[in-house]
Chains A and B, each alone.
Chain A
Amino acid sequence: MRAETFEFLRSLLNTPTPSGFEAPGQRVWSDYARTFADDVHSDKYGNTMAVVNPGARPKVVLDGHCDEIGLMVKHIDDKGFIYVQPIGLVAANRLPGMRVHIHARKGTVLGVVAAMPPHMLSQLPEDKKKPPQIHELAIDIGAADGKAARTRVAVGAPITTVGDLEMMTDDVVVARGFDDRIGAFAAVETLRLIAERRDELNCCVIAHSAVQEEVGIFGAMMSVFNIRPDAAIAIETAICSDHPGVEPAQFGVIALGGGPTIFIGRENHPELVARFRAQAKANRIPLQVAPHDEGHGTNASSFYMEVGGVPSAIISIPTRYIHSAIEVSTLTDMERTARLLAAVCLNIKKDETFRVKV
C-alpha cells in the first residue's frame, strides 16, 4: 500500500468517531479527499462527500460510514463512578477490564471499565456471576468523589475503547472500528484511483462518508434525499466466519483475506452484482459471495428504498470480530475492493441505467 494511503488509513482509524461525534474523522477524510477530488463538502449533520466529474450521469455514490460504535456518559454517581449507555450495538460482556477514552469538553479523560477480580467473583452467588449488562458497568476515572468527577466529565460525553491500528503481519491489521471506517477509507481511496484515470470516466462518482449509521442508518437517509443518485454502493465490513466457534451451516463461509464479498438479494441490485462479478473476473480479483444477511443492516437499505428505488448494492471487506475492540482485516482486501470498484465505475457508460429485466 502507498505510504500516504496507509498513513491516511492509520489516521482515520485512530480518530475517535462514535455516532453523532464524527467531525474529527470527517476532517481527516476531507483533507485526504481534497488532494484529488473536484469538490469536497459536508452537510448539516456532517455527512461528507467528495466528487469527481460532477454533472455527469449516471451519478454513482460509493459509501462508507465514518461512525463507529461507542458509549455515552449517562450518569455520574456521588462516589465518582460513571455509568453509560451504548451508542450502537455494543456487547457489554467485552468491556470489563478495558481502558476507555472519555471525550470530554476539555479533552480526553482516561478511564477503566471496572472488572471484578476472579478471587471475588468465585465467592459470589451464582446469579451474581453472570456477565454484566451495559447499565451494570462502571467506569472508574480515579476521581475522589462525584463532585470531582463532574469537574472533568459531563453527562453526554462520548466514549471509545482504547486501541490504535497495528500491523500483525505485513498484511493483517488490527484496529478498533474497522466497521465502518474501512468503508469510508475504501470509498475515498477508490475515488483517488478513479481520479487518476479521469479521462476514461463517463459517470459522476461521489465518495460519501456517512454519519450515524450505527444508531439507525440515519446519515444515509439524509444523503440519498439530497443527492438522488442513479446508483449507490455501500462498502461495509463482511463478518468473517472462519474462526473457531462459528458454524458454516449457520453463517456461511466468509474468509479473512478471501477477497471482497458481494451479496445476493434484497437491496443488492442484480445488475450491479453482475458488474461486480464481471469486473472481478476481468481483473482477476477473488470474490466471495453470500446471500443477503438479514441480521446486518447497512446504508444500502436507506439508499435503495427511500427515494423511489435507487439501484444499490453492498460490497464488504472481510473482517473478523466486528464490534469488538480488536477487529482484524487485511490490507490486501482493502486494496482489492478499491480496485474492483474503480474498475466498475470506469466501465459505466454515459447515461447508463440499471434495471431489473422483467
Chain B
Amino acid sequence: MRKQSFDFLKKLLSSPTPSGLEVQGQKLWCDYARKFADKVSTDSYGNAVAVLNPRGSPKIMLDGHIDEIGLMIKHIGDDGFIAFQAIGGVDAAGLRGKRVSIHAAKGIVRGVIGAVAPHLTKGKDKDAKPPAIHDLTIDIGAKDGKAARKRVAVGDTITFVDDFEMLTDDLAVARAFDNRVGSWVAVEALRMAAEKRDRLQCAIYACSSVQEEVGLKGATMNVFNVRPDAALVVEVTHATDSPGISAAQHGQVKLAGGPTISIGRENHPAVLDKLRAAAKAKKVKLQTEAFSASGGTDALAIYSAVGGVPSAVIGIPTRYMHSTVEMISLTDLRQATDVLAETCLSISKGDEFRVKV
C-alpha cells in the first residue's frame, strides 16, 4: 500500500468520529481529498463530498460513513460518577474495564468504565445477566459531582481509545474500522481514478457520510443533494470465520477471502454485473453474500431515495464488529479499492442501470 494512503488510514482511524461529532476525522478526509479531487465541499451537518470530473456522466456516488459508535454523558451523579447512553449500537457487555476519552468543552478528559473486581464478585450469581448500559458509570477521578461538573457536562461525547495496530503483515486491529475504512476506500478509489483520468467518463462523487450509526442519516442527506445515477456503498461486513458463529445462520464470509458483494434487495443486478466484471479485470476474487438481513447500510437509504438509485454494497470482511478490537485484512481493503476504481473507469457515458422487465 502507498505510504501516504497508509498514513492517512492510520490517522483517520485514530481520530475520534462519533456520530454527531465527526469534524476531526472529516477534516483529515477533506484535506486528503483536496489533493486529487476537482472540488471538495461540506454540508449543514458536516457530510463531505469530493468530486472528480463533475461534467462526466453518469454520476456515480461512492459512499462510506465516517462516523463511529460511541457514548454520551447522560447524567453526572452527586458522587462524581458519570452515567451515559449509547451513540449507535454499543454492546453493553463489552464496556466494563474500558478506557475512554470524553470530548469536553475545554478538551479531552480521560476516564474508565468501572468493573467490580472478581475478588468482590465471588459468590455472587454466576449466571448474572450482562449489565444494562445505565448500570455502568465512568470514573474520571472526581471527588464529587460538583468537581466533575467543572470538567465535563451532560451531552459531552465519548469515544474509546483503542487505536490502530498491525497483528500480522496483513491483518490489522483497531476500534471502528466500521466504517472509517469505507470513507477511506471511497476517497482512495477517487484518487486511483484521478490517476487514470484519461479513461474516466463518469463523474465520481465520493461521499464521507455522517451519522450512519444512528439511522443512515448523512447518506440520506447526501443522496438528495447529489442525485446520483448509481451508488457504490462500502461498508464493513461480518467475517463469520471466528469461533461461535453459525454459517447456516450468518452465511460464510472469510477474513482475507476478498471483498464481498451481496445479492438481493438494494443490490441492483446491473450494478453487480459491473462490479463482477471489474473484479475479474483486476483478478480479485469476490465473496458473495445474501443481502444483509441483520443490519442496514447507507445503501438502504440511498437506493430508495430521489426516485430510485441503482446501488450495491461492497463489504470489507471484519471480525468482532462494534467491539474495540475489530479486525480486517489490508489486502481485502486494497482489493475493494481496486475494484471500485476499476468499476468507475469502466463506466461509459450513457450507461444506464436497469432491471430488464
Contacts and interface: CB of A to CB of B under 8 A. Distances in A.
A215 B265 contact: yes
Interface of A: 19-23, 26-27, 30, 42-48, 72-75, 77, 83, 85-87, 135-136, 138, 154-158, 211-212, 215-216, 218-219, 221-223, 225-226
Interface string B247-270: 111111000000000111111100
Contacts of A219: 304
A221 B356 contact: no
A221 B305 contact: yes
B116 interface: no
14 contacts: A20-B291, A23-B357, A30-B357, A44-B355, A72-B264, A77-B248, A83-B248, A85-B293, A87-B264, A87-B265, A135-B249, A155-B263, A156-B262, A218-B304
Nearest to B261: A156
B290 A85 contact: yes
A44 B293 CA distance: 23
A226 B304 CA distance: 11
Contacts of A22: 355
Given A72-B264, A156-B288, A86 B293 contact: yes
Contacts of B352: 44
B306 A75 contact: no
A45 B251 CA distance: 26
B307 to A, nearest CB: 4
B62 interface: no
Contacts of A225: 305-308
A40 to B, nearest CB: 9
Given A26-B357, A75-B252, A86-B293, A43 B307 contact: yes
Identify the 9 closest CB pairs spanning chains A and B, nearest first: A156-B263, A222-B308, A135-B249, A46-B355, A83-B248, A226-B307, A218-B304, A225-B307, A221-B304
A348 B289 CA distance: 48
A44 B246 contact: no
Contacts of A85: 290, 293
Nearest to B355: A46
A44 B264 contact: no
B288 A222 contact: no
Given A156-B264, A218-B303, A27 B251 contact: no
Contacts of A43: 307-308, 354
B305 A75 contact: no
A195 B250 CA distance: 49
B306 A155 contact: no
Residue of A26, A45, A75 with most partner-chain B CB within 10 A: A45
Given A42-B357, A155-B263, A73 B308 contact: no
Nearest to B300: A216
A100 to B, nearest CB: 15
A23 B356 contact: yes
Interface in B315-357: 352-357
Given A44-B352, A75-B250, 10 more contacts: A19-B264, A44-B308, A45-B355, A74-B289, A155-B288, A156-B262, A216-B304, A218-B265, A218-B304, A226-B308
A44 B290 contact: no
Contact of A155 (B248, B251, B293, B354): B251
Contact of B310 (A45, A74, A211): A45
Residue of A47, A74, A221 with most partner-chain B CB within 10 A: A74
A74 B267 CA distance: 15
A140 to B, nearest CB: 14
Given A26-B357, A30-B357, A45-B355, A154 B288 contact: yes
Nearest to B289: A155
A87 B262 CA distance: 14
B251 A44 contact: no
Contacts of A138: 248
A219 B305 CA distance: 10
